[in-house]
Amino acid sequence: TAFDSLCEWNAASSTCATRCKFVKEAATCTATTGCKWDAAGSNCEKDCTSIQSSTLCAINSECVFFNGFCQEACSSMTLTQCGGAARCHVVTNALGNAVCDTKCGLKHSAAGPCAADSQCMWDS
């Protein structure tokens, strides 16, 4: 039916749940399993950790496939979240703002790209 596109099957709970993008309130969004509220865009979106496919994870700019799981990209985290993520760290960007970034050792495996990143230094 026309309403089928409003929900999706949740295999973990064996239920049909409203798709995140159709949830319009922040409180409802954060209370909905598999969803997260994007304050900047004022919308509800699918949480990276609820994405099972590495392909679907890779096409979402806010997610990264790491250690076999889809996770929120460091660049999408708040500074508080960043401090709690072992693969991320807080750095100062070119504008002097504190931002969350992937740790150098995880994002560069060669000297060239590492040297081109102002936040990193190659350890030979």
* 66-106 pLDDT tens trace: 999 999 999 989 999 999 999 999 999 989 999 999 999 89
DSSP-based three-state secondary structure for 2: helix
Cα angle 84, 42, 14 (rounded to 5 degrees) comes to: 70
pTM of the model: 0.71
Given a cut of 80, whether residue 107 has pLDDT beyond it is yes
pLDDT the model gives residue 96: 94
Rounded Cα–Cα distance for residues 105 and 120 (Å): 9
**4: pLDDT confidence band, cut at 50, 70 and 90?**
low
The pLDDT > 70 percentage for the chain reads: 94
Rounded Cα–Cα distance for residues 58 and 70 (Å): 8
CB 31 within 8 A of CB 25: no
Given a cut of 80, whether residue 124 has pLDDT beyond it is no
Given a cut of 90, whether residue 15 has pLDDT beyond it is no
Helix ranges, 4-124 (H): 26-31, 54-58, 79-83, 104-107, 111-116
Q: Report which of residues 39 and 71 the model is more confident about.
A: 71
Given a cut of 50, whether residue 46 has pLDDT beyond it is yes
pLDDT the model gives residue 11: 66
Given a cut of 80, whether residue 10 has pLDDT beyond it is no
CB 79 within 8 A of CB 85: no
Cα angle 82, 86, 88 (rounded to 5 degrees) comes to: 45
